[in-house]
Amino acid sequence: MSTILGISGSLRKASFNTGLLRAAAEVTSDDVQIDIGSIADVPLYNADAEAAEGLPPAVQVLQAQLASADGVLLVTPEYNNGIPGVFKNAIDWMSRGEGLKLFVGKPIAVIGASPGGFGTIMAQNHWLPVLRTLKCDLWTEGRLMVSRAGSLYDEAGNLTDDKTRAMLGDYIKSFAASL
């Protein structure tokens, strides 16, 4: 069985991206497991705090999930045509201490959902230099950008559009097959 660590870069309760991650876990085949990580309790990075207290518990949990995963699925919102600060902050924390070694060679795929017409193309592109620096193995065999997400989700942030769920299932199947 392949294990994928899925992380949404949104803190919003009814987030389209968190809903996309939940849907990915739902449409995954029986031989693939998506473990959903959370950035909700990751504090802003502060080197002084790290030196005094070490890695925060939320970061330790994410690092443990990363260590046991065969691959990573980043589900990114797009804020002002770029990476959300809270998401980048969480990845920065995860790379601290022994965490950097956990990223090296790790297969990573990036998807996202947006209420706009271009999906998350800019945010996905902004992840490229970060993932190169972490020496990840970026999976580029497919792309998934969910545009006009407001019409594809219910009020609780659940992906309800069957066509998008089918595309998501195909995407996850292809990514998992590469692990």
At 85 the three-state DSSP class reads: helix
* Residue 17 to residue 9: CA distance in whole angstroms: 7
Which pLDDT score, from 0 to 100, does residue 71 have? Answer: 98
pTM of the full structure:
0.97
Can you tell me the mean pLDDT for 108-131? Answer: 96
* Residue 101 to residue 90: CA distance in whole angstroms: 16
Which pLDDT score, from 0 to 100, does residue 146 have? Answer: 97
Task: Say which DSSP state 55 is in.
Answer: S
Per-residue pLDDT tens for 160-171?
999 999 999 999
* Residue 98 to residue 146: CA distance in whole angstroms: 34
Domain boundaries, the chain: 2-177
* Residue 3 to residue 82: CA distance in whole angstroms: 28
* Residue 73 to residue 57: CA distance in whole angstroms: 21
Q: Phi and psi dihedrals of 124, rounded to 5? A: -60, -40
Identify the CATH class of 2-177. Answer: alpha beta
